[in-house]
Amino acid sequence: MRLDDRLHDFFNRPLMCIIAVADNTGRPSAGRGVGFQLLEDYERIDVIFSAWQWPRLETCIRQTGRIAATFVSPSDYVSYQLKGFAAMRETETADFDRAHCFMTAATDELESLGVPRRLIEPWLTAREARVARLAISEIYVQTPGPLAGMLVGEQFGTRSQ
Amino acid sequence: MNLRLSDLSACFEGVIPSIIATASADGMPNISYLSHVVRVDEEHVALSNQFFAKTAANVRANPKVTLILVDGFTGDQFLLDIGFVRSIDAGALFDKIARQLKASSAQVGMSDVMRLRSADIFRVHGIEKVPSPVETASPMASRAPVSLPALAEALKAIEQQAEADEIIDSLLGAIQRVLGYGNVLVLIHDNHRGCLITTGSIGYQRSGLGSEIAGSDGLIGAAATSGQTIKVSDMSRVRRFGEAIVLEAEGAENTSRTVAFPQLPTAMSQIAVPMTAGGTVMGVLFIESTERLAFREEDEAALEILAGQAASALRASEREAAAAEMRPAVLLPEAAPAGRDVRVVHHRFDDSVFVDGTYIVKGVAGTLLRLMLEWHRSDGRNEFTNREMRLAVGARMPEIKDNLETRLLLLRRRLEEKQAPIRLVRVGRGRVRLEAEGPLILDATAGDYP
């Protein structure tokens, strides 16, 4: 599934990211993303997370290859959830740069909204950064409100939240 | 499990959103923010599920769920491995969850929106602390626990007081001494006017004695009407409560007949604790702090204990005063004091009283001053019993039987605070004396309807 221009603009904002995976017994696990890169085809996205902080994410992705990532703009709660199959890829130097930019923007944004920096710092680290390449198959609006759960691009979308 | 849910109390304040991860029957994960997680007991949590269609569907297909909770003091994160047990939409547990949801929704200004329809109960199988890249310790987290010996001593001190002013002062002092909070108000319920009136105050630039909170307004009104403690732990996320609170400056008292409610502009946390005795809410204890998350679970419990003790003592005081009044009084006429005239104006429509043009008080307390002045004018005496006041006012204001003492206290303190040329002095159990700096002139007819 391809991200449209509106969604592409959304990904230029300061964002927070949360990730869910599931192991082969169906047990979900969760963690935070600390960076991303939209690929040129707009159908795939690389999601960066810390394997030091969230060790189960990589294990589960290697087991089941399934992932959900929700991106939220903290200033207005606009949120989208991307779902699909993912595979781990090698971490590159540029991924650390992306993570650094993402974490700086997110921290500054949250701080400007009144969240003390010392509270944010424990959430975001690129230590032992890993990258999952997600092939997007579903996109859901997750902004609180009447469209919450709507599948993007479908008139009568499946709800997800 | 090594970590217990009770160790995570700062995660349940609704300040930092939690995260819920589920998976469908075919194994596709789903992730969402969650504004409210309620601790039910040491082994269970509850989640409100009205906004989470996919999450709710997944949970019913696959009960395995993971939560991330965040400590609002430190930012520490915890992974909870939980399993769905059942859904509830009525009963004592549902009511408890609904109350907590309402209280935490209040701090994001959504108390009207977040009406609970049903809640899902989960058993907690495991709790893990998520590694943090930074040292996480906050000054608030290292605060000493509440000292039980100090709390016990404070309770004894309150219990030993016989008079309303001593009880309220003991309560205010105990909160400062035992819990270290510096901005505290005691508001007493006034059924006649349908409001709560500030009757005790410490820590504010202006005491606000006599200021009122109407009906169920804000945290204070909500605590009074629900009989539940309500707190806000992070004011940076909340529109300031008490929008209905009158904010006139001190100088406007004389025209508005309204005392400004005391303000702590830098407040980050607020708590309103009902003062309940015998199932009746007699008033509300209100505390503010400039710290985020200033009221831990144990602080809340200590405040509820102190508020309950003070409410019981106030009720006992009213009853004892009523009994003490039974003995006959010898109330002789006295010569009028020398000095300039002291002019008191009473407006019947709201029972407000002004002394030499300065607004003092309204409502029951205003009525009591008018009564004493009328008796002074007709009998020439300056001493009055609570009993005669109770009898005289009781027909019009039946609730006076339960709160005459606190109304007299409010009148006395307002006269003192405004440095009025009249003072009210307690001269024994159930008896007061009116002292004036000159002959008293009561104007109870003019200006009733300005």
Domain assignment present for residue A133? The answer is yes
Beta strands in A90-128 (DSSP E): none
pLDDT in tens, B209-228: 999 888 777 788 888 988 88
Question: Could A161 and B54 be called an inter-chain contact, meaning their C-beta atoms sit closer than 8 Å?
Answer: yes
Residues B301 and B184 in one domain: yes
pLDDT at B187: 96
pLDDT at B36: 77
Domain assignment present for residue B78? The answer is yes
pLDDT at A98: 97
Residues B81 and B159 in one domain: no
Please name the amino acid found at residue B380. G
Closest CA to B284 of B199, B233, B220, B231: B220
Give the closest of A20, A79, A118 to B21, CB-based. A20
What's chain B look like in SS3? CCCCHHHHHHHCCCCCCEEEEEECCCCCEEEEEECCEEECCCCEEEEECCCCHHHHHHHHHCCEEEEEEECCCCCCEEEEEEEEEEEECCCHHHHHHHHHHHHHHHCCCCCCCCCCCCEEEEEEEEEEECCCCCCCCCCCCCCCCCCHHHHHHHHHHHHHCCCHHHHHHHHHHHHHHHHCCCEEEEEEEECCCCEEEEEEEECCCCCCCCCEEECCCHHHHHHHHHCCCEEECCHHHCCCCCCCCCCCCHHHHHHHCCCCCCCCCCCCEEEEEEEEECCEEEEEEEEEECCCCCCCHHHHHHHHHHHHHHHHHHHHHHHHHHHHCCCCCCCCCCCCCCCCCEEEEEECCCCEEEECCEEEECCHHHHHHHHHHHHHHHHCCCEEEHHHHHHHHHCCCCCHHHHHHHHHHHHHHHHHHCCCCEEEEEEECCEEEEEECCCEEEECCCCCCC
Residues B163 and B240 in one domain: yes
In the beta sheet, which residues pair with residue B385? B431
Residues B164 and B259 in one domain: yes
Task: Check if the beta carbon of residue B193 is closer than 8 Å to that of residue B363.
Answer: yes
pLDDT in tens, B58-74: 999 999 999 999 998 89
DSSP A125: -
Residues B200 and B288 in one domain: yes
Question: Could A26 and B22 be called an inter-chain contact, meaning their C-beta atoms sit closer than 8 Å?
Answer: no
Domain assignment present for residue A161? The answer is no
pLDDT classification of B387: cutoffs 50, 70, 90: confident
Residue A122: closest CA among chain B residues belongs to which residue?
B132
Give the closest of A20, A125, A149 to B53, CB-based. A149
For residue B51, the chain A residues in CB contact (below 8 A) are 144, 148, 161
Number of domains within chain A:
1
pLDDT in tens, B249-278: 455 777 677 788 888 888 888 999 999 999
Instruction: Give the domain CATH number at A16.
Output: 2.30.110.10
Residues B319 and B350 in one domain: no
Residues B236 and B176 in one domain: yes
Position of tokens 């509830």?
B88
Domain assignment present for residue A151? The answer is no
Give the closest of B66, B77, B292 to A29, CB-based. B66
Q: Rounded to whole angstroms, how far apart are CA atoms B201 and B253?
A: 18
SS3 category, A12: coil
pLDDT in tens, B99-135: 767 666 655 555 544 567 788 999 999 999 999 999 8
pLDDT at B240: 34
Question: Could A127 and B133 be called an inter-chain contact, meaning their C-beta atoms sit closer than 8 Å?
Answer: yes
Domain assignment present for residue A34? The answer is yes
Q: Residue B55 CB: number of other CB atoms within 10 A?
A: 23
Residues B81 and B184 in one domain: no
Q: Residue B295 belongs to what domain range?
A: 148-324
Q: Residue A42 belongs to what domain range?
A: 5-141
pLDDT at B173: 95
Give the closest of B28, B64, B67 to A83, CB-based. B28
Domain assignment present for residue B65? The answer is yes
Question: Could A26 and B25 be called an inter-chain contact, meaning their C-beta atoms sit closer than 8 Å?
Answer: yes
Closest CA to A140 of A78, A81, A69: A81
Mean pLDDT value across residues B167-171 = 95
Domain assignment present for residue A100? The answer is yes
Q: Rounded to whole angstroms, how far apart are CA atoms A54 and A103?
A: 16
Question: Could B66 and A127 be called an inter-chain contact, meaning their C-beta atoms sit closer than 8 Å?
Answer: no
Domain assignment present for residue B140? The answer is no
Residues B286 and B434 in one domain: no
For residue A106, the chain B residues in CB contact (below 8 A) are none
Domain assignment present for residue A63? The answer is yes
Instruction: Give the domain CATH number at B418.
Output: 1.10.10.10
For residue A27, the chain B residues in CB contact (below 8 A) are 23, 64, 66, 81
- Residue by residue, DSSP assigns A21-82 as EE-TTS-EEEEEEEEEEE-TTSSEEEEEEETTT-HHHHHHHHHH-EEEEEEE-TTT--EEEE
User: Domain ends where: B297, B324, B351?
Assistant: B324
Residues B370 and B314 in one domain: no
Task: List all residues 6 or more positions away from A104 whose beta carbon is below 8 Å from its beta carbon.
Answer: none
pLDDT classification of A39: cutoffs 50, 70, 90: very high
pLDDT in tens, B10-41: 888 777 889 999 999 999 999 998 877 889 99
For residue B114, the chain A residues in CB contact (below 8 A) are none
Domain assignment present for residue A155? The answer is no
Domain assignment present for residue B76? The answer is yes
Domain assignment present for residue A54? The answer is yes
For residue B65, the chain A residues in CB contact (below 8 A) are 28
Q: How far is B30 from chain A (nearest CA, A)?
A: 6
Position of tokens 């204890």?
B285
Residues B195 and B248 in one domain: yes
Instruction: Give the domain CATH number at B306.
Output: 3.30.450.40
Task: Check if the beta carbon of residue B234 is closer than 8 Å to that of residue B269.
Answer: yes
Question: Could B23 and A20 be called an inter-chain contact, meaning their C-beta atoms sit closer than 8 Å?
Answer: yes
What's A17-36 look like in SS3? EEEEEECCCCCEEEEEEEEE
Residues B120 and B166 in one domain: no
Number of domains within chain B:
3
pLDDT > 70 fraction of chain B, expressed in percent and rounded: 85
Give the closest of B29, B64, B130 to A21, CB-based. B29
